[in-house]
Each structure stands twice: as structure tokens, then as C-alpha cells.
């Protein structure tokens, strides 16, 4: 039996399980049913989040596989072609696991929460059907894309690239279709006073639909980049030859670059998402950002700090494989302290009872000044700048700057200084304006940073154009601890994704659909933060186990997928 037939059988078996669950749910009398030992909500939570993590992975990987494949085609670079194929190798098995988890999640949701699923299946039955059609098409394109890789070479390569384009378009539509339901739960629209959907168009294009699409698309690509870097680290550590180590070292660097380059935009996509939540319901925004869920952002700051600092540590170790890279090591302590300080600011809580003055209603001089949102935005921006500078150091190491190009280096210094100055000025002004103005200022600051960073890289390209190479990069000549750093970064990213998934769902409090359909089960309301972190950790471990299965099967079966 061919690999594609096996995948289609898995896919349609999952769809059949889901359909059986739907039919059974409409014959159930109660609004809710329980699950032994671990409870109904926990079952659905684990299945949903694990499925979403795999869905993020299979959405992201085709994006940068296509980019690398196009780059290899245009430059006739065989190494890029091999890299793209190695990344694509992860797709078919990952897609099968996603289908299995999706079928189980749908089945469990209809059987355990029939009240909610009956409500959603009414107005959105057309989108359910569209979703089934899209994932069937996506499954077929995945098969064609992978199995025709060797056949569609040479003058047929453009045909294969077009398959990659189609795969990415359909994958994005799958994500957007699923986001219809998630965004509607958070910010329902097109609803009559008695809770009936009267406009399906308004229900689909609700307040958070586009912000969720943008945020998830960026987050998914970043997530996929870090996971592919972890896969490369796994292969690096298990490689026996220097050639393989060199390939997987380069693969890990590329995945890390993709992960960081896209993660830079995530905070600002988050600001946009937050603005729309406030626009829809200010009380939800307060709950989400400064109320019952505010500690999520402290946990997120700690985890993202591990991601950023771990990535920089990996890049700093990478200077050892670049001839002449050692001359930049004198700057690393300043970069590391800068990152530590910025993340310390980001992780400072807004309200923390640390003294009798706090209990009496006074304002703590540190928490009250550093714990508010304004310095956190500045801290994130400066942390991003630190990562950008780290990448610039890696680009410049090992090269002789041609004479007459020094002006471009000074232009970069001026731009870096302007970014720091603008952020400090905006920080000062943020203490004297209301939250709406502060959010707008943060967006303008981001736009300035995006343009400035673009010019920094533009000037860097001019600076290094025609530069002499001190020596070729010694790919594979990396300490093993650098690969463990990549794995730690990936694990932290998984945990952060699961944490924010919990945050978006928890913002609804005790509503299935906010303000429309109340959760009347015994699990209504928020789980404690302690319980939430335990379940998030369980999800992370389950995902890592399944991802390990993907890595193992990919390593042992390279002929048929």
C-alpha cells in the first residue's frame, strides 16, 4: 500500500470518527458529559492544544521550504535544495498525526460538550464542510509535493514550486477557516439579542478574526523555524560524519534565523490583537492584560527570555566556527547584560504585595514604575535590537571591510542610536498619556523600528559588498552545548505557544461564546494558574513525545513517507 493511500485512510478515518461524534452528540440529552479521572475540560484542552501545535508546524514548514526551494532554484545552489528537501521530509508524518489529533478532538468535543458544539454547528455548518474539503485538498497536495520532488527537477522545477505555492495557499485557508470559530468565541458578532446568529458574514469577520490570523501566521512560522532548528540539532548530535554535521549545523542556523526573524514581529502583532480586544470589550481587555490573567504575561516574559537569550548564546558560540570571529567576543558581555536587564523589566509585575505600603494602597517605587506596560514595550524593543545586533556580528565576522565603506558602518551606528533614543523618548512620554495614546505610540515606534532595521540591513549589505573572506565558515565545528541550546529554545517556544493558547481561551472566563453562550458546566471559570501550568507542561511533554516519533520515523524511513 502506497504511503499516500495510508495517509488518506488515516485522514478519512479521522473524519469518520468526527462525523460519528457529531451524529451521536445530536442524540445526547444532557448539555455536558464528564470524563473519568482527568475531567472533560482537561481532555478537550490537551487534544485541542496539541493538535494546534502540530497544525502550526505543518503550516509553517511549507512556507520556508518554499522560500528555500525558490532560493536554491534561482541561485542553482544544491545545498539549499537539499536543505529544503530535508525540511519537507517532516511534513507527511506530521500531517498524519495532526489529522489523528483533529479527529479525536472533534469527537471528544461533540461527546463531552454537546451544548456548545450544537450551537456552533448550526450557523457554521458551511465552514465545517469547507474545512473538510480544504484539508482533503491539502493532504493530496502534501503527497504530490513530497513524492514528485525528484521527478520535477531541471526544466520541470517550476511545476514543483507551483505545487509548493498551492500547498501554502491551501494551508493558510485551513488556518483561517479554523480561526473563524476561535475568533467568534472571543468576539462574537452578527448576533441578535436572544443569541441567534443573524449575519454569518459579520460572525466570520468579527473584531478579532484578522488580528488572530496575522498573529497566528507569524507565530506559526517562528514556531516552525525553531522546531526545525531542534530537528537539525537532533540530527547533528546523532551524525557520524563531518559532512552530515556540517549540513545539519547549517540547517540549524537557517531554522534559527527563520524563527528569530519572524518572532521579532510577534509583539507588534500582539499589540494589534490587544487593540481589537479592547475595541470589542474593554473589560475583556483589562481582564486579559491587567486583571486575572496578567500573570500570564510574566510567565511569557520569562519563557521568551529563554528563547531570545538561548538563541543569542547559540549565535555567540557560532563565532568559534568563523575565522576572525573571536575579535567580536569582547562585545558579548555587554549584549548579554543588556538582554538580562531588558527581560528583567519585562518580567516585573504590575502589582505585587511586597510591603505594608502596598497593602495600604500605596505604590511601590519599582513595581509601580517598571511594572506598567510602557517600560515593557521599550524593553521588548531593545531586546529585539540586541538580537539584531547579534545577527549583524555573525554576518560581519570573518570578513574584511573594503576601504571606502566605513561610512555605511557609521550609518548603522547612527540608526542603532536612533532606535535607542526614540524608545527612551517614547517611554518618557508614555508615563504622561492614557492607554489609548500609549498603544498608538507603540505602533508608531514599531513602524519606525521596522524601517530603521530595514535600513540597517541595507547598509550592512553595502558595507559587506565585495568584502574579502578571512576564511570559509567551518560548518559543523560547533560545541555540542550549542545544539542543546537550540533544543531548549524549541521546548521553551512550545511551552510559550501552549501558554498563550490558554490565555486566549481563558479571556472568555465562564463563557463558551463570550456574552452569548454561558458555560454552565461544573468546570466553568478559570483553572488556577498552578493547574494551568501543570496541564501546559503535560501538553508540552506530549507534543515533544509525538515530535520525537516524527523525528525517529523520518530518520529511519527516507524512501517513502
Asked if residue 344 and residue 468 are part of one domain, the reply reads yes
Tell me: pLDDT of 70 over 60: yes
Would you list the DSSP string of 177-222?
A: HHHHHHHHHHS--SB-TTS-B--HHHHHT-TTHHHHHHHHHHHHHH
Q: Please state the domain count of the chain.
A: 2
User: Do 465 and 547 sit in the same domain of this protein?
Assistant: no
Q: Describe the crossing of helices 435-464 and 406-430 by its angle, rounded to 10 degrees.
A: 170
Q: Does some domain include residue 219?
A: no
Q: What is the pLDDT of residue 394?
A: 85
Helix and strand totals (H; E) in the chain: 21, 4
**Phi and psi of 241, rounded to 5°?**
-110, 155
Is 374 part of any domain? yes
Look up residue 390 and give its three cell numbers.
547579534
Residue that is last in its domain, among 483, 506, 529: 506
Local confidence band at 556 (pLDDT 50, 70, 90 cut-offs) = low
Tell whether 321 is covered by a domain: yes
- Is the per-residue pLDDT at 102 higher than 90? no
Q: Could you tell me if residue 386 is inside a domain?
A: yes
- Judgement on whether residues 545 and 462 belong to the same structural domain of the protein: no
* 531 found inside a domain: no
Structural domain for 124, as ranges = 1-206+537-561
269 and 332 in a single domain? The answer is yes
Residue 13: band (very low, low, confident or very high) from pLDDT cuts 50, 70, 90: low
Q: Which helix (H) or strand (E) holds 150?
A: none
Domain presence at residue 213: no
Separation between Cα atoms, residue 539 and residue 63, nearest integer Å:
25
23/160 same-domain check: yes
Choice among 298-312, 338-352, 470-484 with the minimum mean pLDDT: 338-352
pLDDT band at 482 (very low <50, low <70, confident <90, very high): very high
Are 298 and 422 found together in one domain?
Answer: yes
What DSSP string describes 244-301? HHHHHHHHHHHHHHHHHHHHTTHHHHHHHHHHHHHHH-HHHHHHHHTSTTTHHHHHHH
Provide mean pLDDT across the span 148-175: 92
> According to the model, what pLDDT value does residue 559 have?
46
| Distance (Å, whole) CA 546 – CA 455 | 42
Contact 91, 62 (CB under 8 A): yes
Same domain, residue pair 256 and 195: no
Task: Read off the pLDDT of residues 32-60 as tens digits, 9 standing for 90 and up.
Answer: 888 888 889 999 999 999 999 999 998 98
Examine residue 513 and state whether it is found in any structural domain, yes or no.
no
512: phi then psi, degrees, rounded to nearest 5: -70, -50
Cα distances from 405 to residues 229, 427, 461, in angstroms, run 34, 34, 11
Taking the C-alpha atoms of residue 341 and residue 29, their distance in angstroms, rounded to an integer, is 57
Q: What is the pLDDT of residue 356?
A: 47
* CA 227 to each of CA 30, 237, 260, 309: distance values in angstroms, whole numbers, following the listed order: 42, 15, 12, 17
Tell me what pLDDT residue 322 has. 85
pLDDT band at 121 (very low <50, low <70, confident <90, very high): confident
The alpha carbon torsion through 17, 52, 71, 385 (nearest 10 deg) reads: 180
CB-based contact 91:69 (threshold 8 Å): no
Please report the pLDDT score of residue 395 as a whole number.
83
Determine the pLDDT at residue 25.
55
Q: Do residues 463 and 557 share a domain?
A: no
pLDDT at 455: 92
- Provide mean pLDDT across the span 115-127: 89
Whether residues 60 and 186 share a domain: the answer is: yes
Mean pLDDT, rounded, for 2-29: 57
pLDDT in tens, 360-390: 555 556 666 776 777 888 888 888 889 889 9
Contact indicator for 219, 56 with CB cutoff of 8 Å: yes
* Whether residue 142 sits in one domain with residue 264: no
Residue 264: HSE in the Cβ half-sphere, 13 Å Cα cutoff:
23
Mean pLDDT of the chain: 84
Q: Does 165 map to a domain?
A: yes
- Choosing from 467, 488, 506, the residue where a domain stops is 506
Question: What average pLDDT score do residues 487-491 get?
Answer: 94
Residue 408 has pLDDT above 50, yes or no: yes
Residue of higher predicted confidence among 18 and 532: 532
Work out the percent of the chain whose per-residue pLDDT is above 90. Answer: 31
| 408 membership: H or E segment, kind and range | helix 406-430
Contact, 47 vs 101, CB < 8 A?
yes
CB atoms within 10 A of CB 76: 8
State mean pLDDT over 113-133: 89
- What mean pLDDT do residues 73-82 have? 87
251 close to 64: Cβ distance less than 8 angstroms = no
Which pLDDT does position 352 carry in this prediction?
55
Query: Residue 47 has what pLDDT?
Result: 94
Residue pair 462/401 in contact by the 8 Å Cβ criterion: no
| pLDDT for res 526 | 81
pLDDT number for residue 3: 54
Strand partners, 8: none
pLDDT 10s digits, 188-221: 999 988 888 999 999 999 999 999 999 999 999 9
Cα–Cα separations (whole angstroms), residue 270 to 26, 208, 277, 340: 37, 11, 11, 22
Residue ending a domain, among 506, 525, 547, is 506
- Average pLDDT of 120-126? 88
With a cut of 50, say whether residue 118 has pLDDT above it: yes
The helix or strand, by DSSP H or E, that contains position 319, with its residue range, turns out to be none
pLDDT at position 209: 95
Pairwise CA distance, residues 287 & 268, whole Å: 20
Residues 416-428 have pLDDT tens digits of 999 999 999 988 8
Question: Average pLDDT of 284-307?
Answer: 80
Residue 552 grid cell: 525517529
Residues 254-268, mean pLDDT to the nearest whole number = 84
Same-domain status, 265 and 145: no
Residues 195 and 302 in one domain: no
pLDDT band at 9 (very low <50, low <70, confident <90, very high): low
Rounded Cα distance between 377 and 309, Å, is 18
Query: pLDDT-derived band of residue 12, with 50, 70 and 90 as boundaries?
Result: low
Percent of residues, the chain, with pLDDT higher than 70 = 89
**1 falls in which pLDDT band (50, 70, 90)?**
very low
Asked if 451 and 400 count as a contact pair (C-beta separation under 8 A), the reply is no
**Is pLDDT of 72 > 60?**
yes
DSSP 3-state of 513: strand
Residue 351 has pLDDT above 80, yes or no: no
Amino acid at each position: 500500500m502506497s504511503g499516500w493511500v495510508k495517509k488518506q485512510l488515516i485522514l478519512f478515518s479521522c473524519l469518520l470518527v468526527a462525523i460519528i461524534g457529531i451524529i451521536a452528540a445530536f442524540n445526547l440529552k444532557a448539555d455536558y458529559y464528564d470524563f473519568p479521572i482527568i475531567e472533560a475540560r482537561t481532555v478537550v484542552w490537551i487534544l485541542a492544544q496539541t493538535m494546534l501545535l502540530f497544525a502550526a508546524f505543518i503550516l509553517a514548514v511549507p512556507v520556508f521550504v518554499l522560500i528555500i526551494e525558490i532560493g536554491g532554484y534561482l541561485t542553482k545552489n544544491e545545498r539549499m535544495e537539499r536543505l529544503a528537501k530535508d525540511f519537507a521530509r517532516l511534513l507527511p508524518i506530521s500531517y498524519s498525526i495532526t489529522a489523528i489529533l483533529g479527529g479525536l478532538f472533534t469527537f471528544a468535543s461533540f461527546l463531552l460538550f454537546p451544548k456548545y458544539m450544537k450551537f456552533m454547528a448550526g450557523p457554521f455548518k458551511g465552514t465545517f464542510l469547507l474545512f473538510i474539503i480544504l484539508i482533503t485538498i491539502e493532504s493530496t497536495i502534501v503527497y504530490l509535493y513530497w513524492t514528485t520532488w525528484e521527478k520535477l527537477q531541471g526544466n520541470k522545477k517550476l511545476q514543483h514550486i507551483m505545487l509548493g505555492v498551492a500547498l501554502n495557499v491551501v494551508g493558510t485557508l485551513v488556518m483561517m477557516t479554523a480561526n473563524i470559530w476561535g475568533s467568534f468565541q472571543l468576539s462574537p458578532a452578527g448576533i441578535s439579542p436572544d443569541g441567534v446568529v443573524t449575519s454569518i458574514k459579520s460572525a466570520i469577520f468579527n473584531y478579532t478574526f484578522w488580528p488572530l490570523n496575522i498573529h497566528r501566521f507569524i507565530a506559526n512560522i517562528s514556531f516552525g523555524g525553531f522546531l526545525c532548528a531542534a530537528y537539525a540539532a537532533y540530527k547533528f548530535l546523532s551524525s557520524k560524519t563531518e559532512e552530515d554535521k556540517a549540513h545539519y549545523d547549517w540547517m540549524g542556523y537557517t531554522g534559527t534565523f527563520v524563527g528569530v526573524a519572524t518572532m521579532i514581529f510577534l509583539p507588534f502583532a500582539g499589540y494589534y490583537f490587544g487593540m481589537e480586544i479592547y475595541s470589542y470589550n474593554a473589560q475583556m481587555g483589562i481582564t486579559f492584560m491587567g486583571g486575572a490573567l496578567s500573570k500570564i504575561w510574566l510567565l511569557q516574559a520569562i519563557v521568551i527570555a529563554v528563547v531570545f537569550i538561548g538563541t543569542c548564546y547559540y549565535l555567540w558560540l557560532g563565532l568559534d566556527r568563523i575565522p576572525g570571529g573571536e575579535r567580536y567576543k569582547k562585545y558579548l558581555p555587554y549584549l548579554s547584560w543588556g538582554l538580562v536587564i531588558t527581560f528583567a523589566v519585562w518580567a516585573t509585575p504590575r502589582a505585587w504585595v511586597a510591603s505594608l505600603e502596598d497593602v495600604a494602597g500605596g505604590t511601590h517605587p519599582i513595581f509601580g514604575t517598571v511594572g506598567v506596560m510602557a517600560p515593557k514595550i521599550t524593553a521588548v524593543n531593545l531586546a529585539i535590537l540586541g538580537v539584531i545586533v547579534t545577527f549583524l556580528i555573525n554576518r560581519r565576522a570573518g570578513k574584511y571591510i573594503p576601504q571606502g565603506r566605513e561610512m555605511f558602518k557609521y550609518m548603522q551606528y547612527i540608526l542603532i542610536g536612533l532606535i535607542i533614543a526614540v524608545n527612551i523618548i517614547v517611554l518618557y512620554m508614555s508615563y504622561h498619556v492614557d492607554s489609548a495614546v500609549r498603544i498608538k505610540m507603540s505602533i508608531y515606534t514599531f513602524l519606525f523600528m521596522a524601517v530603521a532595521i530595514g535600513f540597517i540591513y541595507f547598509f550592512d549589505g553595502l558595507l559587506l559588498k565585495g568584502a574579502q573572506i578571512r576564511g570559509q565558515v567551518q560548518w559543523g565545528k560547533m560545541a555540542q552545548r550549542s545544539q542543546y541550546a537550540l533544543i531548549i529554545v524549541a521546548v521553551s517556544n512550545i511551552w510559550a505557544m501552549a501558554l498563550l493558547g490558554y490565555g486566549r481561551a481563558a479571556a472568555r472566563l465562564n463563557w463558551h461564546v463570550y456574552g452569548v453562550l454561558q458555560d454552565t458546566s461544573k468546570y466553568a471559570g478559570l483553572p488556577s494558574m498552578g493547574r494551568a501550568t501543570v496541564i501546559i507542561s503535560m501538553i508540552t511533554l506530549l507534543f515533544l513525545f509525538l515530535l520525537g516519533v516524527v523525528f525517529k520515523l523520518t530518520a529511519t524511513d527516507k524512501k517513502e513517507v
